[in-house]
Amino acid sequence: MARLVIVSNRVAMPRERAGRAGGLAVALRESLQQHGGLWFGWSGEVNDAPSAEPRRARQGRVDYAVLDLTTEEHKGFYLEFSNGMLWPLCHYRLGLIEFRRSAWDTYLAVNARFADQLVTQLKPDDVIWIHDYHFIPLAAELRRRGVQNRIGFFMHIPFPAPEVLAALPGHDRLVRDLCAYDLVGFQTRGDVRALTEYILHEAEGTVIGNSTEGDVRIAAFGRELRVGAFPIGIDTQDFADIAAEGANSDETQRLTESLVGRALVLGVDRLDYSKGIPQRFEAFQHLLGSRPEHRGKVTFMQVAPISRGEVAQYRKLRNELDALTGRINGKFAEFDWVPVRYLNKSFARNTLAGFYRHARVGLITPLRDGMNLVAKEYVASQNPADPGALVLSRFAGAARELKGALLVNPYDTEHIADALHRALVMPLDERRQRWESMMGVLKVNTISHWRENYLAALQAEGHPAAHDNGHDNGGLAGAAE
């Protein structure tokens, strides 16, 4: 394989990685180390002036190059457009979008600046793999600068249906830029279908081929590209080993002792409105109210570290969950039992794995999620002799693979409460059967399989087809709404 160039929103330099890298970062780094390559992206730092050139580091066969954002870029590109517009749009929360033309312009300008810096570091045979919604326009910017390399894109979050996407001013420019890639990867076939429907009905493109795996080849805006589903996995065996070890850790022992024999229902999510956490709290409250036999016998612990705390919607969510916690505990708690434990803090990976293993129920109910690796980690962490049960939102991408979960509508709190009851009383034989079916999937669809499958598909694309440079305007002029 030629040299691999990976672009992602956040890049941790080698000295910054200790104890922080998740499974995705590890998988990408392993691929870079195997093939030799460059990891390029945002440093996570914000400064008053733009970076004149990237900060660099090298470890083994991997080069790292990162750029800082200016205060204005961080606000417009990262906070207001990427997380204030694209994130709620892709998670079907249109009421939370506040479109600002200045933020859109900044989003495009940052992608152009990153392209200016990246193009000077590319070699003719490099294979470029760009990640996530922050950098949708990056391939188009590279094409304008004469880059003919194979360029792939992977969307880690959901891709919205055409009717939802069309609510975003400039949606046509965004999809046009997406078609500058040679391979666009999504988590699910539903995401592939959403883009295909947009191309057919909004862009007057055509589908020129498809496969039994759900991949399609489309022609649009003067180019041909492949669009496919590549569901991301985890390092299943490694996580299972960590969980088995974590079950005996001091933290897990403290948790076990504090529960005094009570069953644990566990939710682990970044504090985000897409995760359905308020509905989850309401469902647990309904369980206690409608099925008193569970009172005093089950504890719900929600781990939700704070992110994007500077965004108003996230502050509002935190206040809502604080109020719900107080209301449920105030209504049902006894002098020796508190039904809800709500923690706004992060835990080390091995500690969480131990908590997963001890939990009788994993409660993962996002309103919409690209994949949700927590659900997969929970399954991988279970004791094969006595596994817990997974209650999972049907709107998580993981629901397409984890058929042994109890699938729920996250908007229906009574439905979630019924599934919780069923999970808590589920016989051991059924729990084992459901767990074995899910674990079988996870052992095949690992994160290494995802990475190698995607890169093999990208390499198979060969050199890109002709591209259209007729959309150099960085603003909204000429964009069909």
Query: Known catalytic residues?
Result: 156, 369
Enumerate residues 6+ apart whose C-beta is below 8 A from 351.
Answer: 246, 249, 251, 252
Distances (CA, A) of 213 to 171, 192, 380, 448: 28, 11, 25, 19
The gap from C-alpha 17 to its chain's centroid, in whole angstroms, comes to 20
Sign of CA dihedral 389, 449, 214, 5: positive
Nearest to 402 by CA among 453, 440, 450: 440
Backbone angles phi, psi at 37, to 5 degrees: 175, -170
If you ran DSSP here, which 8-state letter would residue 99 be given? -
Contact (CB, 8 A) for 223 and 468: yes
DSSP per-residue codes, 331-398: HH-BTTB-SEEEE-S---HHHHHHHHHH-SEEEE--SSBS--HHHHHHHHHS-TTS--EEEEETTBGG
Backbone angles phi, psi at 52, to 5 degrees: -70, -35
Nearest to 91 by CA among 270, 235, 358: 270
Distance between CA atoms of residues 41 and 67, nearest Å: 6
Tracing tokens 């002799």 back to the chain, one arrives at 385
- The tokens for 103 are 């933020």
Nearest to 343 by CA among 397, 390, 279, 299: 299
If you ran DSSP here, which 8-state letter would residue 94 be given? G
Tracing tokens 């019924």 back to the chain, one arrives at 418
- The tokens for 46 are 């914000």
- The tokens for 246 are 């974590």
